[in-house]
Structure 1
Amino acid sequence: MPEAGNALANLSRTERAAILLMSLGEQDAAEILKHMGPKEVQRVGSAMATLTSVNQGQVEGVVSEFLDAVSGQTGMGLGADDYIRNMLTQALGQDKAGALIDRILLGGNTTGLDSLKWMEPRQVADLIRHEHPQIQAIVVSYLDADQSAEVLSLFDEKVVLDIIMRVASLEAVQPAALQELNDILERQFSGKAGTQTTTMGGIKCAASIVNFVDSTIASELLEQIKEVDEDLGTQIEDLMFVFDNLVDVDDRGIQALLREVSTDLLVLALKGADPGVQEKIFKNMSKRAAELLRDDLDAKGPVKLSDVEGAQKEILTIARRLADAGEIMLGGGGEAMV
């Protein structure tokens, strides 16, 4: 339906999910949000807070798009799993639906490890500080990369090096070991632990975590890793993707990324970006939009380096989410990341 398509043209998937949840009413929206992870809730909640001028056409378009997508499904009897998968994917977006769908369809409750994702980094650090380094590595590899980086920032340099090395060497955790870890955590949190074999860690996971570590510390950490194992350090470095690497993303990927990024966030991130990255962004916008962005950059006063790095990391998080969903391809260090 063209009217709906036009109404939704400038809305990201997250904004569409936010509009749909607000259209459902508080009780039904709360039921959905209960099953979402902390990053998902934060992302959708932020979108709800910033959507101050939603018109009737956009609401009707979002609801119509959702109904069209699930109209051929059945919520009863055979096909219920497909219905749930499609409903949640359409409502929340492909990137958010995976873990939630598995948790619902496999009947699993939030585990002790899952509970850590809702905690402040300092709480997590204090909780695992006196555990065996291998336990620390499992926890760090299980968390989202940005949360892991914040947790590691609260440890001594030598401890961080040891943990990252262990994360890089992790491949899969046996059910019994994971169950034991969950049992330890669930003595403090209520819930039942799952027994499904979990793949976690690895070099890519280590690279993702290092990406979110402060840039100066990350450089020193990589050097220390190379001193211990040069090949491993090089592999981690090759898989890292930093803001300047956006220059290597194809135009279609940049355009997809820009649809998900707010102007204010983009201006702040570009304030300290390499000129090549700035030009890459400008060339993938309309002439008018690029001019406005240049004006905003020129008018932006001095900003803290930490604020710039924070904005860049937020955009990289979005880029990795799109890459994981198969919507764009990231290229860093000469290697392709999908």
Structure 2
Amino acid sequence: MSDLHRAAILLTTLPDEEAAAIMARLEPKQVEDVSIEIARLKNVSGVEQEQVIRTFADSNPAMGSDSGGMDRARSLMTKALGQNASAAIDNVRQSIEAVPFSFLRTVDNQNILTYIIDEHPQTIALILSHLPPATSSLILAGLEPERQLAVVQRIANMQQTNPDIIAEVEKGLERRMSSVMSQSFENAGGVDAVAEILNVSDRSTEKAILESMSQEDPDLVEEIRRLMFIFEDIGKFGDKEIQTVLKHIENSQWSLALKSASVELREKVFKNMSQRAADMLREEMEFMGAVKLSAVESKQQEIVDVVRRLEDTGEIEINTSGEAEQLVS
């Protein structure tokens, strides 16, 4: 039994208000995932409930009947997400039901636009009305203004449509786009690749390339630099470099940044502090409790930016390979 399945059973044993209060603490994607699992639940056995939460199984032996379903998932999402629930409900519904044009969810918006741009406005309207609003808006933006108006007017006036017509349009579009959907692409190049190449290049080559690029695209250079050195690479520093970095970072920054760090990096930072400072930092991290990963990563990036500035001023030298550089006399 997966954790997601356990979570779905647990939530369905609770009153909607309590379950929704728990779900409100989750990220929107997590709400969608657990709601999909709830929607897939049919009859939950008492044995499953006992595995998830024994006290409920003992006090509510009949709780296993009729606990899941799409209506229950919709109710929980509405209470958890409020006005933001519609998109999540639509995603869950399309994952559970055979929704028309659901195959387009895996196709790039630009490809969809290419295949429907010359269709009759009524056909485009039919297709867009069955796609998530965010997707439809992007495709609509790619149409000529006159066609945009014609499509929007038809969507507004659209009422019930014969299922046979919907199926025929869907089948025809899926057949035409079959070559696009069957293609597989391999990722090659990109910013990640540049960062990896420059990471193993000599320092003079790296600086020359980045300085030249910064004249034309400074934002791209900053993105590359962020990928070239990551927070965990601090663990490859010698004690001298660690101590230099420590002088420029407040303990409160370390307490958050180290929450998701490896044991090796934590110990290296602690080792280069005074015993009192290290003990205070450990206590602060324990007292802090659970924190959002996004907040941790943001603080780690702030420290990485400080490290890069120290490198630029020559106060430290970054060697991400972890290998000692050969000396000559």
- The alignment's TM-score, normalised by the length of structure 1, stands at 0.32
Task: Output the TM-score relative to the length of structure 2.
Answer: 0.33
Decide which structure has the larger Cα Rg and report it: 2
